[in-house]
Structure 1
Amino acid sequence: MLRLAWAGVAERWSLFVGAVLAVCLGVALVQSSLLLLISAATWEAPAGLPAIERMRFEEGMLVAVTVIAVSLGLSAFLAVFVIGSTFAFTVAQRRRDFALLRLVGGDRGQLRRLLLGEAVLLGTAGAALGALAGPAAVRVQAWLLETLGFVPAGFTGQWRPWILGVCVLTGVGLAVAGALSAARRAARILPLEALRDGGQTGHVMTRGRWIAGLSLAAGTVALIVLAPVAGPAGGQAMAMCVSICAALACTVLGPVVVPAMARLLPWRAAGALGLLAAANLRDDVRRTASTAAPLIVLVGLVLGQSVALVSLSAAAAAELRRGTSADLVVEADGPAGARIAAVPGVERVSTEIEVPVRLTTGTGELAYTELSRAALIDPAAYESAHPGSGSVRALRGRAAAAGPGALGISPGDAVVARVGDTDLGKLPVVAAVPARMGGGPALLLPAGAVPAAQLARAPSTSFVTLERGADRRRVTAELAAVGTVRSADAWLAGRAEAATTTSSATLLVVLGLGGLYALIGVVNTVVIAGSERRPEFAAARAIGLTRRQVVRMALAETWAVTAIGLLLGTLAAAGTLVAAVATMAAVTGDVTVAVPWPPAGALVAGVLLATGITNVLATRAAMRPALVSLLRTRE
């Protein structure tokens, strides 16, 4: 059977080039993300750093590990999806071949083994190419992480010899995983039915596909409903998952949804070529749905995550603005409250010093230690600088309060904390401030909990309220000797800009290479669709259409499917926005919606341009052989 699989691949190699490319890129992305993840997890802090600075370094690398891990998971998901879609499409294009094999005596088991044998061959070839492309992907991804500030200068992916074995297993595993569903589908082909099959929806939408599609749709609705009651962190996580679940639902139900939407397009306005293109879309449901599938996932993921991150960042900035009461903000190193309070014209000051803290919650086997953040505050001053934060006046001596970024900590609990070289021991949690959309320190500690000597290099933020009638310019000039002085509005604007920049950087790292991979999957699908339509194009030319008219007809089909994929992907992204808005309203009582129009416009234009150019080139290539030879091969 492996020999037969090799013969099939060799005979129709042009159909499998896209599958090999998909496996190659998937292996390269997984290899790159895995090596960088291991390197980030084992990267050591520079020698000689103070204890708090070492913890701060570990905290930064933990963020990098999280970002890379999410990128790895997304790369694996996109690889399975793109490879699975590619194999499913190739199987759909070869239904008549499989019907002939069934007619000459091939059973279902042999057909499955044939397809899985092809998957092993293609996976091995793709894995070999992916292993060669992996080092380049590592360099690109490491450069991106360093440029965007997630890792320190000089960070590189450390080579591991066993990664070659992982590449082979990943390539073959991804190919086989992608081919399993297609193999099962091909094994169910009834020979006579397949030979006369015109691609009707009923043959595509099996019972299992209906169940999967409706389950994903129900899961999408459940995530939207549950997001507002899951708190800031849980709600944001659920909102991010909505677009993924919704995009998959639209993809699985694509053979029903895509043709239905195609009927709504104004085909008559395009004349006879438009009507012919509409008929082609209705006739080959599999091709239409398979072409739209990677588009839906690409747009749903990129646009959904972009809108959610930007909107949530804007909501966090608005929330911080409402919860901050100050005239000036001073950023300095170390405890600066006493020096600021001594400046004439200053009425009150709240100095907050954020430090990394190793936090242990729970007891016994349920104890859990994590690296988090704590803020050293003056309780009375904190309440005046952050209206609506509740009362933390009980925070004194050896005690702690749950901060705005706390998860699973509430008054009455006890936590074990360590800041740098200072072991604070077991602290009772005596108060809590409301959780914020933008997060914040998990723990609030009294100002004297950590020795001042350890805080000399720790960054502090002081919220300054001036006395009525004070000379603002003079006070600002005197405070400049302490640190960087900005008005509260300027400081808030800077925080909002920094949050947006961080969100954009995170999105670029997580979705940058993955989105490019998904776009290549879209182009790959268009190429396969065009290469297999040679007899159909020949028949169109035989009835009188010119080459230019055939190209225009095929382009109209592709752009119609692209528009439908863009619309369904946008609907999936809208689900994420709805969940994010509901979470904002539940947490803050206010709603902030921000749409990154330039990136969204660039995505739409880029997809239309890529599919259009690819379709024109593929159609022209399909019509390159002589018309008589193409008609002779028509089945």
Structure 2
Amino acid sequence: MSWSGLDERWKLFVGAALSVCLGVALVQSSLLLLISAAVLDPPPGLTPAERLRFSDGADASVALLGVTLGFSVFLAVFIISSTFAFTVAQRRRDLALLRLVGGGRRHVRRLLLGEALLLGLVGTAAGIPAGIGVMRVQTRLLTGFGFVPDGFTGQWRDWILGVSGGVGLGLAVSGVLVAARRAARVRPLDALREPDAGRVMTAGRWVAGLFFLAGAIALIILAPVGGAGGGQAMTMNVSLCLAVALTMFGPLLVPAVARLLPATGVTGMLARANLRDEVRRSAATAAPLIVLIGIVFGQAGATTSFTASGVAEQRAATNADLVVETTGPAPVTGIPGIAASSTETETPASVTTGSDDEREADIVSALVIDPAAYTAAHPGSGDLTALRGTAVARGPGGDGFSAGDTVTVRFADTDQRLPVVAAVPTTMGGGAGLLVPAGVIPAAQLADAPSRTFVSLAPGADRAAVTAALTALGPVTGVEDWLTRDAESRTETGNNIMLIVLGLGGLYALIGVVNAVVIAAAARGREFAAARATGLTRGQVLRAALLESAAVTLIGIFLGTVAAIGTYVAVLTTTSAVTGVATLDLPWTLMAVVGLGAFAVTGLTSIITSWSALRPAPVSLLGARE
């Protein structure tokens, strides 16, 4: 019976099968690449600084692949569960008929679990070979974004076949569990009544919706007190929690918003009536859109806002007019028109905190500075007079240690136990994790290290003349332009990770949107036939379906934007708490492209599926019972 049900309604399960396939492929590929990156040895011949940068890139790739693993599993289960919940509602009479002829609740559960297992087998069979292609794509992304060196490849391991099989079946079964419980509660007498989707807002929806809503509110409250790093991390998850909560409350919210939309003409009134009456269909179609818009608008807006806040904070805390960049330490001396300068040489370092089993090592950026010049160029850095000899200070991007601690620092091939004598306040834009006085790092390591010198002009100095003189040392940039470029370079890794994750979320949401529209249209044959029988033309019915699809898309974008607004609130409070200035800078172009793309995808899918449902003659559909 499970095979017959799957074979009869295979169009309804295509999206779920693709989700299983993509989930298996991503988990298989990400797991193989993660293990390969974790055990990757640096190429021979690297300098100590290059080895530290290599380790930093490998750590970033492991973090990216770990996020991909979790995100793909979550979205796959979300789409599969939505598919089965929708199909159970459409098959309510069939399931009741099974109960009427003697089938027990356990038989109904077994029927759906059997369909899920078959779906998992199909998705796994397609996902395992697809995973090989996905691994090539992910490898190109990792090398293209500079996380791993050219020539890196994932190593195949035979045991991954068992893992992939377990993931595919696990995704399918996890997605059907709630729907199977709901289907088992269908009463036998429902077979003798008109089709009824039953109560839409179940206790499970209320509990899940309130749980994720409470989580989003908690994150909004805690983000401002989480500091620069913790606040940003919590803010990024607000829109996801709110999006899931809004999808749970979709059967209440979608019809409520639909009543606010204008409706003119027969097709407009028919479209709004369908939105109001077909609550489950409208909510199921809007759900993946809410998740897509919430994630993209929320996380992309948070990323650009935190970058803008970091630049503004750095500008307010930087007392300089020009920045000259050189290789190796090159103090500015003897140039007329310069009031003060601070030379900062950057090199990677490994900082180990804790002891015994709690030891934790991080790759950070270390700046070799003159403490007095640094505090003059960066007001608000605090008292750095104790930073001399063999001591270090925590920089504006440091984390995990503070003044009074002793840390193990590796600058080259040797470890040094150094006291932390001062701590610069952490900033939204981050920055160096460690400040070091001259003499601690070997001169050979600093010879090829990048340096920048912040230059303050004397009153009345000729800016052009000073710039020309400094150009002999290296490229000269206005401090405003340099700070913007520096912030972009420091956030490049995080932005690349976010870009890949958003692309993954967009792909899953696209599958979910198309899947929901296809499922909804597959069961509308009799509805369209009844509309045709009352005198509507095929074109009018098609326009009504297109208007309904556009309205659902608009509602999904609206509710997804509401979810993103929760992130924006957390962004404003976090930036205000950390920098003293609430900052919000949204990527309007990206948001417009995503919104228009959502309309295009849902509109095109609706036209194709509705046209297919309108092809049979109305009499043939009205005379049959689906």
Say yes or no: TM over 0.5.
Answer: yes
Displacement of 1:280 = 2.1
The residue matched to 2:350 in structure 1 has which SS? strand
Residues 43-442 of structure 1 aligned to structure 2 (within 5 Å)? 43-193=40-190, 196=193, 203-267=199-263, 270-337=264-331, 340-425=332-417, 427-442=418-433
Confirm or deny: 8 A CA contact 1:313 1:499 kept in the other structure.
no
How many equivalent residue pairs?
626
Hey, what's the Cα distance between the residues in 2 that align with 1:71 and 1:482? 44
C-alpha change, 1:367 and 1:502, in structure 2 (3 Å) is: closer
Hey, what's the Cα distance between the residues in 1 that align with 2:466 and 2:229? 39
Confirm or deny: 8 A CA contact 1:84 1:179 kept in the other structure.
yes
- Counterpart of 1:621, as a letter, is S
The residue matched to 2:428 in structure 1 has which SS? coil
Displacement of 1:194 = 6.8
Displacement of 1:345 = 4.4
Residue range with higher mean Cα deviation, 593-602 or 36-45? 36-45
The residue matched to 1:506 in structure 2 has which SS? helix
The residue matched to 1:431 in structure 2 has which SS? strand
C-alpha change, 1:430 and 1:504, in structure 2 (3 Å) is: closer
Displacement of 1:607 = 0.4
For structure 1, list consecutive stretches of 5 or more residues without a partner in the other structure. none
Confirm or deny: 8 A CA contact 2:431 2:490 kept in the other structure.
no
C-alpha change, 1:155 and 1:519, in structure 2 (3 Å) is: same
Displacement of 1:332 = 1.8
1:27 aligns to 2:24 (yes or no): yes
Hey, what's the Cα distance between the residues in 2 that align with 1:326 and 1:197? 77
Displacement of 1:580 = 1.0
Hey, what's the Cα distance between the residues in 1 that align with 2:362 and 2:498? 25
Displacement of 1:604 = 0.7
RMSD over aligned Cα atoms:
2.0
Residues 368-413 of structure 1 show CA distances to partners (whole Å, capped at 9, x for unaligned) of 2333332222111110110122111111122221211122322222
The residue matched to 1:105 in structure 2 has which SS? coil
C-alpha change, 1:181 and 1:194, in structure 2 (3 Å) is: farther
Confirm or deny: 8 A CA contact 1:198 1:284 kept in the other structure.
no
C-alpha change, 1:341 and 1:71, in structure 2 (3 Å) is: farther
1:623 aligns to 2:614 (yes or no): yes
The residue matched to 2:439 in structure 1 has which SS? helix
- Give TM-score, length-normalised by structure 2: 0.95
- Counterpart of 2:406, as a letter, is A
C-alpha change, 1:199 and 1:352, in structure 2 (3 Å) is: farther
Residue range with higher mean Cα deviation, 437-446 or 348-357? 348-357
- Counterpart of 1:99, as a letter, is A
The percent identity for this pair of structures is: 59
Pick aligned residue for 1:535 from 516, 526, 550: 526
1:584 aligns to 2:575 (yes or no): yes
Displacement of 1:67 = 2.4
For structure 2, list consecutive stretches of 5 or more residues without a partner in the other structure. none
Hey, what's the Cα distance between the residues in 2 that align with 1:476 and 1:409? 39
C-alpha change, 1:336 and 1:453, in structure 2 (3 Å) is: same
1:605 aligns to 2:596 (yes or no): yes
Residues 465-518 of structure 1 show CA distances to partners (whole Å, capped at 9, x for unaligned) of 244455544443343333322222331232345467666533321211331221
1:522 aligns to 2:513 (yes or no): yes
Hey, what's the Cα distance between the residues in 2 that align with 1:608 and 1:195? 39
C-alpha change, 1:359 and 1:558, in structure 2 (3 Å) is: same
Hey, what's the Cα distance between the residues in 1 that align with 2:192 and 2:294? 36
1:556 aligns to 2:547 (yes or no): yes
Confirm or deny: 8 A CA contact 1:341 1:348 kept in the other structure.
no
Confirm or deny: 8 A CA contact 1:310 1:503 kept in the other structure.
no
Hey, what's the Cα distance between the residues in 2 that align with 1:218 and 1:372? 35
Residue range with higher mean Cα deviation, 596-605 or 157-166? 157-166
Residue range with higher mean Cα deviation, 504-513 or 445-454? 504-513
C-alpha change, 1:517 and 1:208, in structure 2 (3 Å) is: closer
C-alpha change, 1:196 and 1:373, in structure 2 (3 Å) is: farther
Displacement of 1:344 = 4.8
- Counterpart of 1:511, as a letter, is L
Displacement of 1:90 = 1.8
